[in-house]
Amino acid sequence: MMTITGTGAAIVLACAFATDMRAMRIPNLLTVIGFASGVICQLLTAGWHGGQIALVGALAGFLPFFLLYLFKGIGAGDVKLFAALGAWLGAAAVLNVAMYAILYAGALGLLYMLASRPFCRRMLGGMAVLLSPGAAGKREALHGWEAGAKRFPFMIAVLPAAISVWAMGS
For 72-106, the pLDDT digits (tens) are 889 999 999 999 999 999 999 999 999 999 999 99
Instruction: Tell me, yes or no, if the pTM score tops 0.75.
Output: yes
**Does residue 116 come out as left (phi exceeding 0), alpha (psi in the -120 to 50 range) or beta?**
beta
